[in-house]
Amino acid sequence: MVNKLSLRTRLWLRAVRAEYWLARTLLPNVYSNDALICFNNHAFVDDPDFQRAYQRGARALGDEDWYQWQWRVHVGLWAASSASHLDGDFVECGVSYGFLSSAIMEHLDWDRLNKTFYLLDTFAGLDPRFVSAAERESGALAKSEEHLRRGMYADGADSVRANFAEWKNQRIIVGAVPETLAEVDANSIAYLHIDMNCAPPEVAALRYFWPCLTPGAFVLLDDYANRGRDEQRVAMDEVADELGVSICMLPTGQGLLIKPAG
């Protein structure tokens, strides 16, 4: 498979990541990647099951892992494995090339579970109708256009369909959240991943799916604690407050919610 990123973007990513390489070189045994430098144990990176799943995720990106999301994937695999024992299907809002979902499906030997994985994306970046005024002002739409141009977001669903073709129990839903939410015909949901890099559709997805979540279901918010994404965090905290739950902020930049029983 060819790389989906432009050469310019690949060189830019390498330069941006030099600081992580420097930290790993100066401080052996330190995890240093993806906005996280951590001195604690990260033995999961050497686990062959993790490595197999991670590599399948990276395959969705083309011939090079330009995400370097090891710890985020570790959290995603844990949430998905735990959710696999519950009643209900899996949903991801914001799929792009399908990195995290592919890793999860590989890890769980997906079709064996008899669950459906619903994969929702515009496959065309942010939809201007569902971006807040503050996000618009801060240049979110221009950034999304740039991500599409540089190959950092999937532009079109065809290559994504090809990536997921090895699994039977998946449904790719093309279009903008919240308009496509009703196309998810699951009776119950055990795992929900929200990763659209803008607040209005993320909030709409959490509100919409909350009543269908099985008690104990896992909700992973990719952007919750990312630097520069305060609007998403504040908006999600407001919804969580209304729902009577609180979000655990993770050092990976993710947020984690568990639907309480009863």
Ligand X SMILES: C[S@@+](CC[C@H](N)C(=O)[O-])C[C@H]1O[C@@H](n2cnc3c(N)ncnc32)[C@H](O)[C@@H]1O
Cα–Cα distance measured from residue 195 to residue 167, given in angstroms and rounded to the nearest whole number? 22
- Report the nearest approach of ligand X to the CB of residue 41 (Å): 25
Among 117, 130, 191, 209, binds ligand X (CB under 6 A): 130
Among 5, 58, 70, 121, binds ligand X (CB under 6 A): 121
User: Does residue 201 interact with ligand X by CB under 6 A?
Assistant: yes
Among 71, 99, 164, 218, binds ligand X (CB under 6 A): 99
- Report the nearest approach of ligand X to the CB of residue 155 (Å): 9
The letter for the amino acid at 206 is L
178 phi-psi bin (left φ>0, alpha ψ -120 to 50, beta other):
alpha
User: Does residue 209 interact with ligand X by CB under 6 A?
Assistant: no
Among 96, 163, 170, 232, binds ligand X (CB under 6 A): 96
Q: What phi and psi values does residue 104 have, to the nearest 5 degrees?
A: -65, -45
Cα–Cα distance measured from residue 128 to residue 5, given in angstroms and rounded to the nearest whole number? 24
DSSP 30: -
Helix H or strand E encompassing 33 = strand 31-33
Neighbouring CB atoms inside 10 A of 229's CB total 21
User: Does residue 126 interact with ligand X by CB under 6 A?
Assistant: yes
Among 83, 104, 176, 199, binds ligand X (CB under 6 A): 176
User: Does residue 213 interact with ligand X by CB under 6 A?
Assistant: no
User: Does residue 196 interact with ligand X by CB under 6 A?
Assistant: yes
Specify the residue, 32 or 163, whose C-beta has the smaller distance to ligand X. Answer: 163
Among 127, 163, 191, 235, binds ligand X (CB under 6 A): 127
Written as six digits, the tokens of 122 are: 């515009």
Number of H helices, E strands in the chain: 10, 9
Give how far Cα 79 sits from Cα of 84, 121, 179, 219, Å: 9, 21, 26, 8
- Sole window of 15-23, 27-35, 123-131, 162-170 interacting with ligand X (rule: CB under 6 A): 123-131
- Report the nearest approach of ligand X to the CB of residue 215 (Å): 25
Binding mask 35-74 for ligand X (x = CB under 6 A): ----------------------------------------
Cα–Cα distance measured from residue 79 to residue 213, given in angstroms and rounded to the nearest whole number? 14
Specify the residue, 88 or 94, whose C-beta has the smaller distance to ligand X. Answer: 94
Residue 237 C-alpha from the chain's centroid: 18
**How many angstroms separate the first and last alpha carbons of the chain?**
47
User: Does residue 154 interact with ligand X by CB under 6 A?
Assistant: yes
Where along the sequence are the contacts to ligand X (CB under 6 A)?
A: 94-97, 99-100, 120-122, 125-127, 130, 153-154, 176-177, 195-198, 201
